[in-house]
Structure 1
């Protein structure tokens, strides 16, 4: 079964004009470039996910092979537990163009503006957190549990989003 959290594929750069797929191995997770206008330049989606779930028994995260690699998505599935994934979206405000179904709650993750979405993108029993990354960008962290409630999925995705937030470029 493919990883189906609306999760994720990514390329980190180009080599000789060709996309260079992102690796899930350890590497730089900071240093956003102000030259490109992309706050995620220099970040590895898979490395961020792997660091956020380290020690919890998840296999290394991978880009979803059916998702367009330019979408900068990555995710992992722990058998018997569920999926966790993330997408970096440059140029997309955190609180716009979100699903109309489900429950939407405005809040923050460690002071960073966010929106929690229950039973929307990830479906019933799923929970997503969309965090602001200035200027005008966002990170979406998605979770769906194999068993458990939506509240448990939201608790889990909130914990993961808090770990990811610490690795993101700071909002100024």
Structure 2
């Protein structure tokens, strides 16, 4: 049976409030990071998750251990309070976010390199075209009515 577990951790990271969404599906952990501006209220976070969950860009999956334990509700409440008191992201989450960041960085570098090469090629083609136009201007027929050459036959006609 497939089991999906989603955890949201909201903490203050200078100068903004940040939310980290950890999603565990079939033992694979994926993470997404959301930046809030000011400190979000509980109902704002809930509404934001409900409206925008499908838009989150999750990191590539990383193997994670899934714990299937039934706990006493009071113990679960205490653990939830402890988790809200601690700040930071779990190490697996950090690894997943780092992996996503590196993939985005390599993609950005690749696009930038392609754009630079395209610009170089465009500049080269432009220079070649200008060279050809200059060369053509040297071999182009001279206008018959220009002041450089005098043709006696044309002067009689005019």
What TM-score do you get using the length of structure 1 for normalisation?
0.21
* Structure index of larger Rg: 2
User: Structure 1 or 2: larger strand share?
Assistant: 1
What TM-score do you get using the length of structure 2 for normalisation?
0.22
Q: RCO (CA 8 Å, sep 6+): is it higher in 1 or 2?
A: 1
